[in-house]
Structure 1
């Protein structure tokens, strides 16, 4: 079609370059664009879109300069097309350049465009510039408030995000689902029970019923501040639940050591036909670990593997190792490390060493030291723990020798050395 006059028509040519942009290359689309004789702003925007889809921001800006040179006036779509691409490439300089062009072309009154600019500054962490755009907007919609709130959340400024939720309603802007999730996110990391209840009341006033996202966030929030009754009330009142909702409720109970409650909700979930995930079983194991229920933990672990065919992660194994270590079953905990189907982590050995420290088991501690020396000799924590065990038993000479061993290892640089530590002495091979 490029060889005839069809592509020179603005409508047909624009459709063609859109097609080539999605299915071909930006170069092919540009050849079609260059053949369009009666270009309009839609044609230019289509070509800009092609370049941004192909992450060729430099070519897009060169085209923009050509557009202005030829006397075409960009519209808000032109700039809205550019901003996300600049953000994804981490190019704050181009965002500022676009901002200058927006001011030059007097587009400050466009809510959609200002929201896009606000979002870009927020994602770069330029909160002063974001706030400057926000506060000068002649009109704000719910998206404006949400984007500014998310900008604060990106920088962990939860109090500021929480305040915006109040301010939005004072200015008669009705919150939507995104607003509700934002305010709940602001509460999750740093929350008092009073704040949690106030957020809950605001959500009730802004929504007829809690959707699955807002409801789950509320369950998480109440769980964080230890108000399990509130979490349970929200959970049971949710008209729809997904696996994330169930996991949130199980996790809230597990976080506060309510093993029986966690298991009750888990089996209720199974009755409803909801399939558990690895996160479900991590919460169950976590609950059992902090309450010392070894048998229930084993049962959950085996159910995960053999009934639900889920592959345990290092976090699941570490939970089991920690539980067995706390219970004094150090041989079983050590055996768990050796049968792991995934690579061990420093946390795996740390969990086992914690059990050794709790039960003053030097033999197991020495085996861990030998293993750590081979795999991660820079890790000083096991040496400190075992040295403390020796000291607690009055074996001060061996505690001191262990510290000498640690310093010897730390001084070895670019040398492959095998160490073997025996009770009471260490041998450098």
Structure 2
């Protein structure tokens, strides 16, 4: 009782007053320390427990591993794992699942997979743990393969499995897999799960199908704040600002109280559409009517909203009035607008702060360099180039991808692997020629391509 009420001292007093203690009592006291993040006391108690002759069981070690997982204590987790192996407890389902979860949260997915593969009898919880782990570590393809293996093994996924797989499909922008998982959801009666409905909304939106995203939203009988926020974010992601604002207003009319994520989505939508008055209004409403303290993400959105519309002085005032030191995301929003509106003085001031926070991030130097190029300040450009070479490592080529007919094609710079690279370059040249003749292009890289049409763009499609 004291443990669950978080009265740690009272729990320890009762524990110390007990004349005899069995393993269950030691486990409860250990769990009390671990749940309340008393790391030193917990492991001192564990040492005393072993000194008293109690080796520990699955509950003991799963509690220790879960603590390491929650606190991302990789080194301590490895030591505990060694003891688990020594005591032959690795085959325990609860302990094994805890180990998989710990390694996945510590971003050591290979070790998580090694533990998973050594487990003899895996239940749904074990499969969920490894699938979620791969998804969070950015290994979406492997997560999908494991999901297929789980189905072939005759195990039925639960709501957590399906929500995790849908999130993976969203991150991969894999519409074919998302549709198949949706079919499984309908066939097996999982439509009522809010977590799955929310994941479907995001998955379809990230796969480019906002209509299916809206349809998935309409099928949820009682959407909560997360559901509404997911739909508003989806509209904002697709640049449909009016739809996002209308959905937000309907949400308020339905009596659903928005949270910080909801406001972040609607302000972001206003930013992309240039609705300055609406965005400022929602930012003010968030503070005054709902007592939500704006985070750095909210300030970044507001600064982006003002600076995109050309209100650089107002954006700078917001930056100066923030109740905490601006982070890189806030400063990045402002310097991006300085690049668009060619405000070299403000860009220099913001850049110095960015160089201090992120001295090795290439894009910070590139944005200021582009402004200097547009202003014709070539000496400053050369100085920045030298500074970039000293501070920044080799840039990793950027990539994006598109799914056509169930097959994913990836765009990578400086690559001619794709079998249709000649057709791709031909089409790219046609698009660039059309842009040059129809529009005024202010971006320095595009200007360079337009001035020298024989220079092929380095962005190509390959398998």
Length-normalised TM-score, structure 2: 0.68
Whether the aligned pair in 2 keeps the contact of 1:321 and 1:337 (CA below 8 Å) is: yes
1:269 aligned residue: 251
Q: Which of 204, 218, 226 matches 1:222?
A: 204
Q: Which of 307, 328, 339 matches 2:310?
A: 328
SS in 2 for 1:178: helix
Whether the aligned pair in 2 keeps the contact of 1:253 and 1:261 (CA below 8 Å) is: yes
Give distance in 1, aligned partners of 2:226 and 2:159: 17
Q: Would you say 1:99 and 2:85 are equivalent positions?
A: yes
Give distance in 1, aligned partners of 2:306 and 2:118: 60
Higher mean Cα deviation, 47-56 or 189-198?
47-56
Q: Which of 179, 197, 212 matches 1:197?
A: 179
Whether the aligned pair in 1 keeps the contact of 2:339 and 2:368 (CA below 8 Å) is: yes
1:64 aligned residue: 50
Q: CA deviation at 1:338?
A: 4.2
Q: CA deviation at 1:228?
A: 0.8
Give distance in 1, aligned partners of 2:299 and 2:14: 54
Q: CA deviation at 1:292?
A: 2.3
Tell me: CA distance 1:163–1:330, structure 2 relative to 1, closer, same or farther (3 Å). same
1:239 aligned residue: 221
Give distance in 1, aligned partners of 2:58 and 2:366: 62
Tell me: CA distance 1:404–1:205, structure 2 relative to 1, closer, same or farther (3 Å). same
2:336 aligned residue: 354
SS in 1 for 2:172: coil
Higher mean Cα deviation, 142-151 or 259-268?
142-151
Q: Which of 146, 149, 159 matches 1:177?
A: 159
2:427 aligned residue: none
Give distance in 1, aligned partners of 2:7 and 2:267: 50
Q: CA deviation at 1:186?
A: 2.2
Tell me: CA distance 1:74–1:219, structure 2 relative to 1, closer, same or farther (3 Å). same
Q: CA deviation at 1:258?
A: 0.2
Whether the aligned pair in 2 keeps the contact of 1:369 and 1:383 (CA below 8 Å) is: no
Cα-to-partner distance string for 1:189-215 (whole Å, 9 max, x where unaligned): 223111211221222233342311111
SS in 2 for 1:139: coil
Q: CA deviation at 1:405?
A: 9.3
Whether the aligned pair in 1 keeps the contact of 2:351 and 2:368 (CA below 8 Å) is: no
Whether the aligned pair in 2 keeps the contact of 1:223 and 1:252 (CA below 8 Å) is: yes
2:189 aligned residue: 207
Tell me: CA distance 1:206–1:28, structure 2 relative to 1, closer, same or farther (3 Å). same
Q: Which of 212, 223, 231 matches 1:249?
A: 231
Tell me: CA distance 1:94–1:326, structure 2 relative to 1, closer, same or farther (3 Å). closer
SS in 1 for 2:88: helix
Give distance in 1, aligned partners of 2:4 and 2:306: 61
Whether the aligned pair in 2 keeps the contact of 1:353 and 1:365 (CA below 8 Å) is: no
Whether the aligned pair in 1 keeps the contact of 2:2 and 2:8 (CA below 8 Å) is: no
Length-normalised TM-score, structure 1: 0.72
Q: CA deviation at 1:355?
A: 3.1
Whether the aligned pair in 1 keeps the contact of 2:335 and 2:350 (CA below 8 Å) is: no
Whether the aligned pair in 1 keeps the contact of 2:159 and 2:190 (CA below 8 Å) is: no
SS in 2 for 1:189: helix
Q: CA deviation at 1:82?
A: 4.8
Q: CA deviation at 1:85?
A: 4.7
2:415 aligned residue: none
Q: Which of 125, 141, 147 matches 1:159?
A: 141
- Gaps spanning 5+ residues in structure 2: where? 34-38, 391-463
Q: CA deviation at 1:272?
A: 0.5
Q: Which of 318, 343, 348 matches 1:369?
A: 348
Q: CA deviation at 1:283?
A: 1.4
Q: CA deviation at 1:143?
A: 1.2
2:397 aligned residue: none
Q: CA deviation at 1:243?
A: 1.1
- Gaps spanning 5+ residues in structure 1: where? 1-14, 412-429
Q: CA deviation at 1:255?
A: 0.8
Give distance in 2, aligned partners of 1:354 and 1:268: 33
Whether the aligned pair in 2 keeps the contact of 1:290 and 1:323 (CA below 8 Å) is: yes
Whether the aligned pair in 2 keeps the contact of 1:118 and 1:134 (CA below 8 Å) is: yes
Tell me: CA distance 1:149–1:383, structure 2 relative to 1, closer, same or farther (3 Å). closer
Give distance in 1, aligned partners of 2:249 and 2:64: 50
2:268 aligned residue: 286
Whether the aligned pair in 2 keeps the contact of 1:48 and 1:63 (CA below 8 Å) is: no
Q: CA deviation at 1:135?
A: 4.0
Q: CA deviation at 1:401?
A: 5.2
